[in-house]
Structure 1
Amino acid sequence: MASQYAQNPRRGSQSPSALAARIVGDDDSGYGGSVVGGEGDHPAVAVLNPGQATDADRRLWASHVSQLHYNQNRVALGRSIAHAADTLKKFQHNNSKWPAHYPSVQRMVEAPSLARSQSSGAESAHSPPPMRRSATSQSDTASPQQPTTTSEPRLVTPQIAQEFNVLKLDLKLGALSPSELVHSLEKSSIASLLDGKISQSLKHLSALRERIDDTASKVLVTGDLNAGKSTFCNALLRKKVLPEDQQPCTSIFCEVLDARDNASVEEFHAIPIDGPAYDRNDESTYDVYPLEKLEEIVVENDRYSQVKIYVEDARSVDQSLLRNGVVDIALIDAPGLNLDSLKTTAVFARQEEIDVVVFVLSAENHFTLSAKEFIWNAAHEKAYIFIVVNRFDNIRDKARCQRLILEQVASLSPRTHQDAKELVHFVSSNAVIDGEDTAKCQEFDKLEQSLRRFVLEKRARSKLAPAKTYLLNVLEDLETLAEVNKEATSAELSKVRDELDKIAPEFEKSVKARTEVSENVDNSIDETCTTVYKHARKTITSTISRLNEKSTVKYDGLFSAYAFAEATKKAMLEKIQDSVTASEGFARTQTAQGVAQIKSMGVLHLGSEYVEKAFRPEYMFSRKKHLLSKSIKTEINAFDFFDFDKQEKVAGMSLSLTVATVAGGQMFGISSWVDGLWKATSFLGPKTTKKLILPAILIAGVAGAVFLVSDIPNAVPRKLAKKIRKELEEMDYVHSNSERITKECRKVLGFPADELRAAFHKSIEKQGTTIDEKRRTEKESEVAFKYFGGLLKDAASQKKSVMGLDLEGPAIAL
């Protein structure tokens, strides 16, 4: 043994340990130490000169070369782990800025039993059914039945999505499948879940680095409840140390160590729950108990999280697992998987720090669901699992039991099934301690030797292979994610550029349309208001100019002359007010048309983004602002009943005198009073004429008075119309009312115009924001596309490098 060489230096110029130091350049012992046999002289020259080397020299040389190969692989794996961790950290950081797309997968209808594909690489990972690509990228064994899928588009095939292991977001809720549940979440939620998975993976990579650097090995003995795990451990120790019962009796982790690590004292240390980290040299971190108290502490425990059991194994180093003379071994007995959910979760978590998993199952129960789930979880890194089928002596049809269990092993762990002779054993642990059945003891001895070889001699498989397998799983997941995200970002980049090519012209068109529409709206409002102003001015002016025409007021005689004048005034003012009201009605019609025109422009250019508001034209001019009767100060006086205007008076007096002379005209035979007067004077003589002048004047005066009185129905409207026109002109009544009506019209038209401008502004602002977001997305997509392209190359390169590590090493010719 290697340890024996260290204790008994050989004769010669150079000891094998010194030679090993020269060859290996590392003080890590442990690989293949037990393959070295024999004692005697091994001078350095014998090793350096193969022609003179003995068989023992060649075996020693092979051992050291294997150790060198092991150390080289260990260092290379350490670098790969550091590189992968750095890549994962960058991916995690990038995922926080640019949430990664997670591969979508369709709902699958799986066959009742789908065989797991078998990878060709010695360290190939495996995952739960139905299928998985080989971690070495070689072709898989086809499944008996391919899953059927719907026609829904997807980013990757179900085969690729199913192979996700380390970074798989496996959620369960109701009838939804894990993949369906994942893809029902928001992208940010998926990114958050993925971030948690990456953190777990980084933690596991750190634990892997510590494990491959640690020369000791930890062996976890686990399995279903009451499968005989403690009995198996006792059989390995060849004495009853751990409590055994037909009922579950192990409720905490029991770590069995060589007593030499505890000054050769057999006892156990109980570590309190939530206590400080265990330190054997610090008794404040644990409680010390004799081995006799172990059952009491382990069976019913609520104070301690685990126990460290130090025991002596008196067997020789080539028989004992704990005292093997090569490496330190820790044998950990775990609680049953289905004891309770907390204990099961603890076992799942504990396997991350384990080098070798020994899975114990009952020959009577085979693999339960919890057993399958544990092996699938362990398969993230462990392609090889040591399987112990306990209580095999209780089975009558042993051939059938072996066949069924091996079939299950083939679907759960293909690499384990390939090496089933070394890794799958059917034993009865009870018979070993009793020593009654020699055949059963021999079967267990074969199991123990296989386990020794697996732990000690095949350390590349038991110590390094899990790290390589996990790395390949991580890198393959990263490669898949990078490929999917590269395609997704490329598609998103093309999409956003197409959208920008479409949106940018529309944005420019909208900006141009806003200017044009604003000008059109202003022109439309101006035209409408101009039309309304002109119509109002024309209508009111025309009405005022014809105030004294066609009076409808009835004249009832001289005694009702004043009432006639008042009624005439009122009628005139009402006529003016009616013209203003008519102008307002015309303004309503024109305003309604203007509003409709503005709305049509909004619908034409903005479509559904423009929200029309109801227009009620009847609410225009609801407040009377032209109270003419209160504004006109015209008072009726006596002169309003007689029209003494020069032109009209001459015409009136001529008429009255003509009437007066008509009666005398027949008498005198003349056509006018002048001619008659002249002729009368000539005919009658001056004296007679003088006598007749006064009566003629009196007659003419009476006739004039009669004429004036009779002209009151005509004189009053003329006089009042003049006075009202003059006063309205002083008030600038026509312009002020026309302006008032126009302002109301402009004000009402301003509301839809402002709404249209606001809608345009909102639409353009929205389009501008969309363009800014698209351009920002375009830049982010470009960065993400480059990043995922680099990640794809980096992951593929790292994967190729890890796959190139030949852990088993080439055969050395002796």
Structure 2
Amino acid sequence: MSYTIETDRFLNNLEQVARVRSQIAKSLGEIAQTLAQWEASVKDTSGGLGLERDIDDLSRASQTLQQTVFRVLVLGDLKRGKSTLLNALIGENLLPADVNPCTALLTVLRYGTQKKVTVYFKGNNSSQSIDFARFKQTYTIKPSEAKRREAENSLAFPDVSHAVVEYPLPLLEKGIEIVDTPGLNDTEARNELSLNYIHNCHAIMFVFRAMQPCTLEERRYLENYIKGRGLTVFFLINAWDEIGKGLINPDHLDELEQVQNRLRTVFKTYLADYCKNDGQDYYDQRVFEISSLPALRRRLKKPQDSLEGTGFPPFLRALNTFLTQERAVAQLRQVRTLVRQVYSRTHAAIERRIPLLDQDIEGLKQRIQGVNPEFEQLTQIRDQFREEIRTLRDTNVKEIVNSFQTYVLNLETTFESDFFPYQPTIDLLEFLQQQKREAFNAALKQALEQYLQDKLAAWERTAEDALKEAFSQLAQSAANYGATYNQVVDSMSNKLIGQTLPSRVPVDSGEESPTWTKWAMGFFSLASGNIASVALAAVGFNWQNILVNWLAVVLTPLGFWNPLGLVLLSLGVGAMQAEQGRQAVIKATKKQFVNYLPQLAQEQQEPIRKAVGDCFERYEQDVIQRINDDIQSHQIQLENLLQQKKGREINHQTELKRLRQLDSDILAQYWQIESLYEESGLIPG
């Protein structure tokens, strides 16, 4: 199947998703407006139904759908062909992709009616508009310069935040936003450009180069920042067409196939674990062999030409399936559930109100007093859930803080073996030269930094796993409390009107739970899907931010660079060429390093304690507020009616007609949204 056909299909599917999203967003806004108008108009009738929270949820969901774009993040080390790949994907030689320059800025590519580049600066939030030619000339650097700055942990343009490229391209117009990042490097200066985007994107394209399979830097980055994060990553093995260039006879197909198969084995060995989710293997749907430069040349020469053989058609199919089906379906299903629950709550409030219209004041008072035990039970459920949240908070704060302390102190035990792979090469003859000695010291410092980053990342995953387990437990508790909560509400309805209130709309398993339960379970979120991610994102949780200074704190006071030099010089030339030199470096490094570990373990306890506590406290605040709002909504429905009866005579027939009309209007709008799902073909009915 040709690239043109795949592109057209992708664009059509994106347009369909955007159209359905826009229509549903409009319907959500209309439902919110209908309910808001009702609540505002009932001061002279039977009183409001307490639907303010539902109105707010619908309005927020409407805004989210209107503003949502599919954000795709592009990651990869220097000179992997990221810009060439993107230019081939969009069909324009737009981003810097010449033979030598490296993109030095994080660049956001989004739709605009006019070609435009805006460079944003740090601190003062100022910006500068420049043309494309100047952008390419000014904000690219040579690979050698990029590598030098990596070694120095510095940025080429430290005052620049990022650039936004606006362009009137069909792919962008249909709702795709692409974020092109500088090369990988595990330093704070570089990663602060891209780490903030990782958890705010829908998909990641991680670009490798075929003849440089999974370098140490690439493996470290995957291990430290991608693994276990619940991210959807497409691994693109670029420059697949260049494999034959290293062969004596590139036309020898058997030899070429053998080399290709060896490379496939290497890549699969390193990437297989990143392509599994919930026991399913997605390797064939996530790893693609592509040839960006030939694809770009074809597209620039003849835009409608087929790109068969470049790897782009199957990759585009997979990206299409994920974004326009899997991702869009998940988002729109959440909205459908929200609308179902809002209508069910509205319908239940109306059905409880109607039988009470004929009650006199005393009779209504008695019925309200009769459900006081139920309100107390709802309050007890809220308090029990809050206590469980706090208990888990205290337990996890203590355990995670203790785990960090134990972990840091134990680094001494395995330092010599763990640090060995990071240690730079030692040559005494070079070390005797001042310039070479300074270079070695810089390399050793960077090696220690990388070692610490890796160790930190390993501990992060254990801490996050503990939090995920805790929030999974809270999600299950929320479901259990929600079921009990519903039983109390049914009991309340039986006392008030003599019957429970079944739903008038189809509900999936679990949708009959109160709305606050779904929020507590992390269902209404665009995060990765588990409640831990929801809670962590809610407080801007990022271990890198919490421990951002720990590397500097550790490295600065070590002061072993000069003493280490004396140790090396004392060994002599022969020793430096043998194992004794390596051991001397590690022992000298370890001696200074381990002296600081107790202080590190102590100093980081409080920021970790606060960060973990903030996760649970934000979760508690949001969930308990929603339970309070729900309880208050039930109370308001009764109190408003009672107050209205005390102040004026309610016309039963007129109010009955108005309530039925409200129910009918919201139900009609609900079915309109359901029909949009069915007609779109995106979501099963």
Per the shorter chain, which TM-score range? 0.3 to 0.5
Tell me the TM-score normalised to structure 1 length. 0.31
By percentage of residues, which structure has more helix? 2
The structure with higher relative contact order (CA 8 Å, sep 6+) is 2
Q: What TM-score, normalized to structure 2?
A: 0.37
